[in-house]
């Protein structure tokens, strides 16, 4: 509380005392003084909440900040403008932007900012309407940042784009006593034709990955089979043992039928042996 406010508070106290005395001396005077006191009191007392600060102007000149609590100002001489120190959430309207690779996208965002407590007066003195100014700054920054990126970069690096927008707006609004906490891109809409192309590209990418995985599996299996065949070939009787194992596996199911193919060269000696016996 400055000196003028203290003097005015003393004056109001004395005026209230005179008003009370007039009640017992001259009642019509009491009525007049009481009305005047109510007018002066209501225009002198300013209540500032914890999340606010009061900007005081004396004769139009900045005269300090009012802290939370009950404050007294001089009517007519002083004027108080309140500012809110809480975080403000503002939607950035949807913008149609052309990306670096000539794709038209619609982008909107949300921005979080607040007034710095020790520079609250700048939000009143340095800018006419800081809410509107921040919104316009965010729109311009969003168009510039998205316009310098390709569509794939915008879709995959939202955080990077948001960070660049926040930095631009924060620097530009610093003279207004405003701190930008964050900027978040909400929706990025692409044309329907581009959605179809992106869907086909994603499907082709999935098919390619599946083919790569299948080929890798087949290559690994071939290596294992080759290694197993090499080991079996190096062991005496290994191939015959493996054949018997497979036959045993096949014969374990009654529904399976085993057909042996015997070369004709093996049958000829048997046929000749039968003819001699007769």
No. of helices (H) and no. of strands (E), the chain: 9, 8
Over range 139-159, report the average pLDDT.
89
pTM over 0.85: no
Whole-number Å distance between alpha carbons of 242 and 232: 8
Q: Burial of 169 by CB count in 10 Å (0-12 exposed, 13-18 middle, 19+ buried)?
A: buried
> pLDDT tens digit string along 82-93?
999 999 999 989
Lowest pLDDT segment from 21-30, 40-49, 258-267: 258-267
DSSP class per residue in 218-249: HHHHHHHHHHHHHHHHHSTTHHHHHHHHHHHH
Give residue 15's pLDDT.
72
Computed over every residue of the chain, the mean pLDDT equals 79
Q: How many CB atoms lie within 10 A of CB 141?
A: 23
- Sign of the Cα pseudo-torsion (22, 28, 31, 32, in order): negative
Q: What are phi and psi of 258, to 5 degrees?
A: -110, 125
Most confident of 147-156, 186-195, 217-226: 147-156
User: Domain coordinates of the chain in residue numbers?
Assistant: 3-84, 88-190, 198-277
Whole-number Å distance between alpha carbons of 83 and 122: 10
Tell me the helix, strand and coil percentages in the chain, rounded to 5: 60, 25, 20
Predicted confidence band of residue 151 (pLDDT cuts 50, 70, 90): confident
Give residue 277's pLDDT.
47
Over range 101-110, report the average pLDDT.
88
Give residue 30's pLDDT.
74
pLDDT at residue 69 is higher than 70: yes
- Which strands, in side-by-side order, build the sheet including 104-115? 88-98, 104-115, 178-189
> pLDDT tens digit string along 10-42?
777 777 777 777 777 777 777 877 787 787 777
Most confident of 151-160, 170-179, 269-278: 170-179
Predicted confidence band of residue 278 (pLDDT cuts 50, 70, 90): very low
Over range 185-205, report the average pLDDT.
70
Over range 60-84, report the average pLDDT.
86
C-alpha to C-alpha distances, 243 to 10, 234, 246, 252, 257, nearest whole angstrom? 115, 15, 5, 14, 16
Predicted confidence band of residue 256 (pLDDT cuts 50, 70, 90): low
C-alpha to C-alpha distances, 103 to 100, 150, 163, nearest whole angstrom? 7, 8, 22
Give residue 262's pLDDT.
60
Residues with Cβ < 8 Å from 80, sequence gap 6 or more?
46, 54, 55, 56, 57, 66, 71, 73
Share of the chain above pLDDT 90, in %: 27
With contact defined as beta carbons under 8 Å apart, do 72 and 90 qualify? no
Over range 117-131, report the average pLDDT.
91
Whole-number Å distance between alpha carbons of 246 and 6: 107
CATH architecture label of 88-190? 2-Layer Sandwich (3.30)
- Return the closest-CA partner of residue 72 out of 4, 128, 127: 4
With contact defined as beta carbons under 8 Å apart, do 99 and 105 qualify? yes
Give residue 171's pLDDT.
94
């Amino acid at each position: 509380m400055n000196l003028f406010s203290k003097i005015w508070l003393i004056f109001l106290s004395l005026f209230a005392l005179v008003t009370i005395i007039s009640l017992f001396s001259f009642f019509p005077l009491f009525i007049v003084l009481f009305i005047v006191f109510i007018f002066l009191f209501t225009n002198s007392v300013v209540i500032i909440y914890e999340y606010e600060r009061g900007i005081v102007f004396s004769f139009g000149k900045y005269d300090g900040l009012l802290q939370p609590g009950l404050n007294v100002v001089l009517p007519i001489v002083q004027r108080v403008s309140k500012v809110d120190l809480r975080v403000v959430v503002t939607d950035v309207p949807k913008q149609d932007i052309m990306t670096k690779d000539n794709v038209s996208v619609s982008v909107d965002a949300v921005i979080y900012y607040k007034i710095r407590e020790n520079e609250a007066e700048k939000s009143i003195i340095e800018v006419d309407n800081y809410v509107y100014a921040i919104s316009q700054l965010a729109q311009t920054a969003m168009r510039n940042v998205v316009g310098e990126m390709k569509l794939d970069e915008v879709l995959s690096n939202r955080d990077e784009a948001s960070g660049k927008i926040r930095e631009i707006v924060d620097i530009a609004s610093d003279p207004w006593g405003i701190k930008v906490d964050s900027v978040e891109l909400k929706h990025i809409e692409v044309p329907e034709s581009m959605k179809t192309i992106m869907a086909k590209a994603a499907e082709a990418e999935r098919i390619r990955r599946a083919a790569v995985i299948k080929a890798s599996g087949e290559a690994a299996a071939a290596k294992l089979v080759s290694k197993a065949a090499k080991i079996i070939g190096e062991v005496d009787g290994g191939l015959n043992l493996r054949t018997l194992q497979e036959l045993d596996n096949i014969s374990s199911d009654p529904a399976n039928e085993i057909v042996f193919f015997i070369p004709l060269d093996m049958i000829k000696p048997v046929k000749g042996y039968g003819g001699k016996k007769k």
